[in-house]
């Protein structure tokens, strides 16, 4: 029997259906993470609100009230189950955690509660952010998501390639984000963005590190193009995830 090779990061990106009740408004991408024994789904603010993060105008026919997530099933990799996560609690309060700047940072964390009935989580490794790899404009990046809701091998994501389009350490428009140049499409909002080098890379001290395999660095969360006629897209740095979680802990004190 032929061995099927699947990249671990391909198991982390998940296809989302953005819904009002059972009406599908559109598709997006998200990826699960685990912090302090709790699983969260990372995606964009505009995905769960249906609103533009720039002017707060509704972009969908109605406001979403749930996400249908195509999770892996624990009966084996390549098996799937569609699970609904409500965006609001019984008091109609939002369940997702957002940045202290609200829609000023287009990233949210949604606590995952519907993890019974065979759901298998492959959390994205946030420690990939710590990879000692130098980043610079023109370097290739991968956006791991679902353009137009397309999927492969059942419901695995598609890896789209682009390039870093701004100095990664410089804020774009005063925000904790940088730009990439990539032919992304609708449905990829919420995708993880990674830098992957094979055979060697330069570290942050300028040393050339030679390896026999691949090295991956987590660069952030993709949230769409900055203009409909441009291929330039925005990526929110991983620190925004930590900031959102830290803020939620402060609110509980």
> What six digits make up the tokens of 51?
């609103």
Please enumerate in sequence order all residues whose Cβ is within 8 A of that of 91, keeping only pairs 6 or more positions apart, or say none.
none
The predicted pLDDT at position 252 comes to 61
The predicted pLDDT at position 229 comes to 83
Ordered structural domains, the chain, with CATH: 8-123 (2.40.10), 126-243 (2.40.10.10)
In sequence order, what DSSP letters do the residues of 191-240 get, joined into one string?
-EEEEEEEEEEE-TTS-EEEEEEEEEEEEEEEEEESSTT--EEEEE-THH
Closest CA to 220 of 112, 107, 74: 107
The predicted pLDDT at position 248 comes to 82
> What six digits make up the tokens of 111?
């606590």
- Cα separations in angstroms, 10 against 109, 145, 228: 20, 9, 27
3-state SS string over 197-209?
Answer: EEEEEECCCCCEE
Return d(Cα 177, Cα 233) in angstroms, integer: 10
The predicted pLDDT at position 4 comes to 79
The predicted pLDDT at position 253 comes to 52
Max intra-chain CA distance, the chain: 55
Contact 244, 109 (CB under 8 A): yes
The predicted pLDDT at position 1 comes to 67
The predicted pLDDT at position 3 comes to 77
Per-position pLDDT tens, the chain of length 253: 677 789 999 999 999 999 999 999 999 999 999 999 899 999 999 999 999 999 999 999 999 999 999 999 999 999 999 999 999 999 999 999 999 999 999 999 999 999 988 999 999 999 999 999 999 999 999 999 999 999 999 999 999 999 999 999 999 999 999 999 999 999 999 999 999 999 999 999 999 999 988 999 999 999 999 988 889 999 999 999 999 999 887 766 5
Angle, vertex CA 69, rays to CA 72 and CA 160, nearest 5: 80
The predicted pLDDT at position 212 comes to 87
Closest CA to 213 of 27, 8, 71: 8
Residue 40 has φ and ψ, to the nearest 5°, of -125, 150
């Amino acid at each position: 029997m032929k061995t099927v090779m699947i990249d671990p990061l391909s198991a982390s990106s998940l296809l989302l259906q953005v819904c009002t009740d059972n009406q599908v408004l559109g598709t997006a991408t998200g990826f699960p993470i685990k912090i302090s024994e709790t699983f969260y789904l990372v995606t964009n603010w505009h995905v769960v609100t249906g609103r533009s993060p720039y002017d707060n105008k509704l972009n969908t026919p109605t406001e979403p009230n749930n996400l249908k997530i195509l999770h892996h099933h624990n009966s084996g990799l390549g098996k799937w189950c569609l699970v609904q996560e409500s965006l609001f609690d019984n008091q109609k309060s939002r369940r997702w955690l957002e940045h202290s700047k609200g829609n000023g940072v287009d990233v949210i964390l949604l606590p995952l509660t519907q993890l019974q009935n065979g759901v298998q989580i492959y959390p994205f490794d946030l420690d990939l952010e710590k990879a000692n790899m130098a980043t610079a404009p023109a370097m290739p990046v991968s956006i791991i998501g679902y353009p137009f809701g397309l999927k492969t091998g059942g419901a695995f994501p598609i890896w789209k390639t682009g390039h870093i389009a701004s100095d990664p350490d410089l804020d774009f428009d005063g925000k904790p984000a940088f730009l990439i140049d990539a032919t992304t499409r609708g449905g990829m909002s919420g995708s993880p963005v990674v830098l992957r080098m094979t055979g060697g890379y330069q570290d942050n001290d300028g040393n050339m590190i030679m390896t026999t395999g691949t090295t991956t660095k987590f660069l952030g969360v993709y949230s769409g193009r900055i203009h409909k006629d441009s291929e330039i897209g925005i990526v929110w740095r991983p620190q925004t995830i930590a900031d959102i979680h830290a803020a939620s802990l402060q609110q509980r004190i």
